[in-house]
Structure 1
Amino acid sequence: MASAVPMVAPICLVENKNEELMVNQQALKILRSITKPVVVVAIVGMYRTGKSYLMNRLAGKNAGFSLGSTVQSHTKGIWMWCVPHPKYLDHDLVLLDTEGLGDVEKDDSQNDSWIFALAILLSSTFVYNSMSTINHQALEQMQYVTELTELIKVKSSPNAVGEDSAEFVGFFPDFVWTVRDFTLELKLDGHPITPDEYLENALKLSKGKNPKVQTANLPRECIRKFFPKRKCFIFDRPTNDKSLLSRLEDVEESQLEPAFKDQADNFCSYIFSNAKPKTLSGGIIVNGNRLGMLLDTYVKTMSSGDVPCLENAVLALAQTENSAAVQKATNYYVEQMTLKMDLRMETLQDLINLHTDCEKEAISIFMKHSFKDDTHKFQEELVQILETKKNDFICQNEEESNRYCQIKLEHLSQTLMEAISQGSFFVPGGYKLYRKEREEIMNNYHQVPKKGVKADEVLQKFLQSLAMTEESILKTDQALSEQEKAFEAEQFKRVAAEKEKKLLQQRQTEKQQKMKAQQRSYEENIKQLKIKMEEDRIQILREQEMILDHKLKEQQKLIEEGFHKKAEEMKRQTENLQTGIKHAKSRNSSWWTSILNAISVRFMSLLSGAGKLTE
């Protein structure tokens, strides 16, 4: 099972040099070459707690991320290892091992906060690794989670100070707490409990107005608010042989404690089965390329001293991705039209039918790869491009038909033109000879296959070019009476008028066909846009209902724990959410109509404008 981006070893993704974070461009290039959706697992925790070992287990290797064997922190910055997902072939697994928090050798703890924030922003599953137990000290070490609202903004609005946790929930990953070297019994009040129950009990708020109690409650509250989906794993010591602990990368599976091996396998199995692809608010699936763009944006913002804004980062990503979506759709359309279009399409309708099929697929490709095109700027750009490309194909088809028909007529009329230049028809009975030659040319021309859309027009122009010569031959033919000459002249004019009328009708038909094609193009764009808008609306509703469910559960927990004031606060938030959801659900057809009408006017204007270029 080969990875799209084979990596035999991890690479530093975010370098931490002189207390400054920088993206490693080589690693970024690897990440951005991944086109599959990515499941991103990031691990953080205090230094020397065995984070790297768990990451290596997820990669299916003993060695890879540096483990170190001394009290000195080994991992600096954020290291990345992209491997094929062991369970889902259509995904890749991106493992992020972070620099240990609380390293005494570091002068500035701000770096720890940024590393923590980046791990949150990039991952779809966030693993916090600690030692021995989830106690007061372990929760104190989770101080970084309390700083997230200061380190990260969700909305770009200047009024977005003190944002509601619901905003963060839409962007934040699932949470897993791993407790290493756990030696306690999993019991509460004398009853066995699961690791998940152990975590939830540890996250219960303590009562009291003492500042120390409130400070201790803060990380608990933040974990509960920001991470609705929580999981806990406990691990025994990997081995009781102290000499082996310092070189776990060399330890054989048989040398590990059976309990630890089972616990590690359960952890990996959970991650492989339950860790979701990285997804942004609105159901936007992130691949390696998108993740790389987001990372670059976040680190540049942090380096400039600003606070990363999730909304701005997603909008910047959307600008790039939507431009690429327009290009993908355009490339597909041009490739398919070029591949399927005959050298000379027999009728304009044949070409338009082909255009309609290719355009439909191109719009579908754009819809699949675009997101947050709220002003429909990029779809409008695609509408205009495809209409222009269609007109280019129509012109090319006409030019090719025109060129081919002229060549054929020149070849077929060569004998006739030579006879005219030699005066062969300016003799008694010459007109009948001329007519016979001309009719033979026309019959042979009609037999030529695949002449294309300009066949009649080229023939008409050819006959018009012979009109004066034909009149001279008729006048000088002494074998014809004046009455016969008058009849032939009238017959010639009548046939010419009929052919001209037929050409005008053809042009009118083609004009109507072009207008119908524009109408179909408009209808297809509106149809697919309406489907996408409805899908987006349903996705947003689904996310809001998930957040509401989380808040209602948290509200109930607060009531059970006796925190009625906090529960009232949470109740106000849930009521606001419920109002928003109710409003979104009540949007009726008139709401859709008003939006689509505004878009429709712009689309039709674009189509009409592009259509005039070929008239």
Structure 2
Amino acid sequence: MKQMTMASAVPMETPICLVENRNEELMVNQQALQILTSITKPVVVVAIVGLYRTGKSYLMNRLAGKNRGFSLGSTVQSHTKGIWMWCVPHPRYLDHDLVLLDTEGLGDIEKGDSKNDSWIFALAILLSSTFVYNSMSTISHQALEQMQYVTELTELIKVKSSPNNVGEEDSAEFVGFFPDFVWAVRDFTLELELDGHPITPDEYLENALKLSKGKNPKVAMANLPRECIRKFFAKRKCFTFDRPTNNKSLLAHLEDVHESHLEPAFKDQADNFCSYIFSNAKPKTLFGGIMVDGNRLGKLLETYVKTISSGDIPCLENAVLALAQTENSAAVQKAIKHYVEQMVLKVDFPTETLQDLLNLHTDCEKEAISIFMKHSFKDDTFKFQKEMMQILDSKKDDFICQNEKESTKCCETKLKYLSQTLMEAISQGIFSVPGGYQLYRKEREKVMSNYHQISRKGVKADEVLQNFLQSLAMTEESILQADQALTEQEKALEAEQVKREAAEKEKKLLEQQQMEMQQMMEAQQRSYEENIQQLKQKMEEDRTQILREQEMILDHKLKEQQKMIEEGFHEKAEELKRQTENLQRKIETAKRERSSWWPSVLDNVGTALMVFSPGLGKVLGLGIKALGHCVQ
């Protein structure tokens, strides 16, 4: 088998126990959890279960590209306790990691409580995207009886928290989130034939899963695991394996056996198994296409084990909602962090105009919203999006405030330097002579001219200049009145001119402030429109994905219904028909509502904006609510 040479983002030379099984109690190993939660790539999770001492660990080592790793053992005693984990780079997809989970053997006679086996089995189902069941010799009646654990899943897993969704109703939804199923039959010695015709391993599995006819309890019990496998696992695959070697002494230490000493047929079968897993095992996702990385998988595991330890039943809906709370909070922080980092990088204080700063804000905010949308899910009440909007708005105000401070500081420094000669002349009384007023005006105009020629003074340029001129008003009036070269009429005209200039500057400053207020409102409008646009895109994608998944489930149930009819199980076919009709109604309703769902969402967001920003937000909120009605 091809060895993997890539360096893992989370280097693991050997497996580590992920879920410890101490005294029949399950506990998460914090060291292993830390490794798992540090994985930021989507994970393909392959879990293997089966009776103890059936060679599960050897297959997992092959998937890891190693001979050694998961403990094989060479005695009748089970070696693997709990669930062991090995995270390795995916050999075919660089943007994914492969998480291998090897579980302790089922049916270990040394264990006193079979319930412990059931929870190990259930956890493997809940965590994996591909679930491998490993058995020996054949898929016989006995082998199917040993799959009793699959029949107990309805008592060990809940889909929804609602008490109305229990038992048969709840388990009907298992197929929507259960992993792909692979049955690995080891030491297989039979001919793959049926009625004298060759068949594939997949056909062998499907034939073994056919239900037996009869209504007595014994037949019903024998059919139950078959029915559960067919009902819960939409995608099924089977691999048969010859003995690795016929040398009994080598079998006891298979990890030390060189490839050349293995049976050629077994090598081909093992390579085909690995190739299938690498090519077809999907990344772990939650319902709705929510991609799971190592961090999310670790948090789900903690929730499941904590629930089991408390004596309760793991609920998929509750686990996903709990995960969404922590993930959405982290998504807000990631978005804000990116925004601040980009603004610090891009903004060169002071900006020439407020609009220059707001343009940069718009670009950085758009990226931040995109990051939030990428990492958040199930924010159905928009709680976290509103939180992000509030923080972004506050951060924007901080940058605006900093920009104003930098502009004020810059302008005051420049004016102080440029007016140094003027201020010294005033203090020395140079202008307190006949003709001094005109001389003062000339010096003042020179200061203003030089000030206007300086670039990048920022948004406070006019305001700082206006404050500076106002600070000279009394001095200027005093110089004017003391100038003996001017008549009283000329002084009155000059005073009137000074008032007009001051009024014009005030008007100009007010116009600038009004323009900036308009720019702020437009920026706020763009901000909310960007949130709306990206929210709509995300929700449309989510709805499309959910519809796609529901249609896949519907297709599976329709096929299973047809098989039940062909096999003569009409009552079971009727039950499946009822389920498919309910699902069809849901799908059709969702499709009909597709054109009308968005305006109602806009109404909710618009209302939220009014709460978020009572003044400006109210105007914008009403505007977006109106927009919602326009797009109907």
TM-score (normalizing by structure 1): 0.98
Match of residue 457 from structure 1:
463
Deviations 1:111-133 (A, max 9, x none): 10000000000000000000000
Q: Contact 2:610–2:617 at 8 Å: present in 1 too?
A: no
Instruction: For 1:373 and 1:469, locate their aligned partners in 2 and report how far apart those are by CA, in whole Å.
Output: 62
Match of residue 431 from structure 1:
437
Aligned residue for 1:94, secondary structure, equals strand
Match of residue 450 from structure 2:
444
Q: Contact 1:387–1:611 at 8 Å: present in 2 too?
A: no
Instruction: For 2:170 and 2:576, locate their aligned partners in 1 and report how far apart those are by CA, in whole Å.
Output: 10
Match of residue 133 from structure 1:
138
Which consecutive unaligned segments of at least 5 residues does structure 2 have? 1-5, 619-632
User: CA separation of 1:534/1:517 partners in 2, compared to 1, >3 Å: closer, same or farther?
Assistant: same
Q: Contact 1:388–1:610 at 8 Å: present in 2 too?
A: no
Match of residue 2 from structure 1:
7
Aligned counterpart for 2:569 among listed residues 553, 563, 568:
563
Structure 1 residues 12-31: aligned runs within 5 Å: 12-31=17-36
Structure 1 residues 527-538: aligned runs within 5 Å: 527-538=533-544
Q: Contact 1:391–1:611 at 8 Å: present in 2 too?
A: no
User: CA separation of 1:549/1:165 partners in 2, compared to 1, >3 Å: closer, same or farther?
Assistant: farther
Instruction: For 2:617 and 2:228, locate their aligned partners in 1 and report how far apart those are by CA, in whole Å.
Output: 57
Q: Contact 2:307–2:314 at 8 Å: present in 1 too?
A: yes
State the Cα distance separating 1:604 from its structure 2 match. 4.8
Match of residue 103 from structure 2:
98
Instruction: For 2:389 and 2:614, locate their aligned partners in 1 and report how far apart those are by CA, in whole Å.
Output: 11
Match of residue 314 from structure 1:
320
Structure 1 residues 498-577: aligned runs within 5 Å: 498-577=504-583
State the Cα distance separating 1:234 from its structure 2 match. 0.1
2:307 corresponds to 1:329: no
Match of residue 603 from structure 2:
597
State the Cα distance separating 1:171 from its structure 2 match. 1.4
Instruction: For 1:198 and 1:607, locate their aligned partners in 2 and report how far apart those are by CA, in whole Å.
Output: 65
Aligned counterpart for 1:350 among listed residues 352, 356, 368:
356
Structure 1 residues 356-505: aligned runs within 5 Å: 356-505=362-511
Aligned residue for 1:478, secondary structure, equals coil
Deviations 1:5-52 (A, max 9, x none): 010000000000111000000000000000000000000000000000
Instruction: For 1:437 and 1:407, locate their aligned partners in 2 and report how far apart those are by CA, in whole Å.
Output: 18
Match of residue 73 from structure 1:
78
Q: Contact 2:159–2:171 at 8 Å: present in 1 too?
A: no
User: CA separation of 1:244/1:610 partners in 2, compared to 1, >3 Å: closer, same or farther?
Assistant: farther
Deviations 1:491-530 (A, max 9, x none): 1111110000001111111111111111111111111111
Match of residue 260 from structure 1:
266
Q: CA RMSD in A?
A: 1.1
2:629 corresponds to 1:586: no
State the Cα distance separating 1:454 from its structure 2 match. 0.3
Which consecutive unaligned segments of at least 5 residues does structure 1 have? none
Deviations 1:552-601 (A, max 9, x none): 00000000000001101110110000000000000153332122112122
Paired residue type of 1:105 = E
Match of residue 156 from structure 1:
161
Instruction: For 1:467 and 1:430, locate their aligned partners in 2 and report how far apart those are by CA, in whole Å.
Output: 15
TM-score (normalizing by structure 2): 0.96
Instruction: For 1:47 and 1:139, locate their aligned partners in 2 and report how far apart those are by CA, in whole Å.
Output: 16
State the Cα distance separating 1:252 from its structure 2 match. 0.2
Match of residue 85 from structure 1:
90
Percent identity of equivalent pairs? 83
User: CA separation of 1:611/1:187 partners in 2, compared to 1, >3 Å: closer, same or farther?
Assistant: closer
User: CA separation of 1:598/1:503 partners in 2, compared to 1, >3 Å: closer, same or farther?
Assistant: same
Aligned counterpart for 1:144 among listed residues 149, 153, 176:
149
Q: Contact 1:239–1:255 at 8 Å: present in 2 too?
A: yes
- Of structures 1 and 2, the one with the larger relative CO (CA 8 A, separation 6+) is 1
Instruction: For 2:355 and 2:613, locate their aligned partners in 1 and report how far apart those are by CA, in whole Å.
Output: 18
Deviates more, 1:520-529 or 1:118-127: 520-529
Aligned residue for 2:173, secondary structure, equals helix
State the Cα distance separating 1:166 from its structure 2 match. 3.7
Deviations 1:401-433 (A, max 9, x none): 011111111111122112212222111111111
Instruction: For 1:480 and 1:540, locate their aligned partners in 2 and report how far apart those are by CA, in whole Å.
Output: 86
Aligned residue for 1:586, secondary structure, equals helix
Deviates more, 1:246-255 or 1:348-357: 348-357
Q: Contact 2:52–2:106 at 8 Å: present in 1 too?
A: yes
Instruction: For 1:91 and 1:211, locate their aligned partners in 2 and report how far apart those are by CA, in whole Å.
Output: 47
Match of residue 117 from structure 1:
122
Match of residue 235 from structure 1:
241
2:285 corresponds to 1:279: yes
State the Cα distance separating 1:353 from its structure 2 match. 1.0
Aligned residue for 2:359, secondary structure, equals helix
Paired residue type of 2:430 = S
Instruction: For 1:381 and 1:220, locate their aligned partners in 2 and report how far apart those are by CA, in whole Å.
Output: 49
Match of residue 53 from structure 1:
58
Instruction: For 2:130 and 2:197, locate their aligned partners in 1 and report how far apart those are by CA, in whole Å.
Output: 30
Match of residue 629 from structure 2:
none
Instruction: For 1:131 and 1:140, locate their aligned partners in 2 and report how far apart those are by CA, in whole Å.
Output: 13
2:179 corresponds to 1:183: no
Instruction: For 1:405 and 1:12, locate their aligned partners in 2 and report how far apart those are by CA, in whole Å.
Output: 64
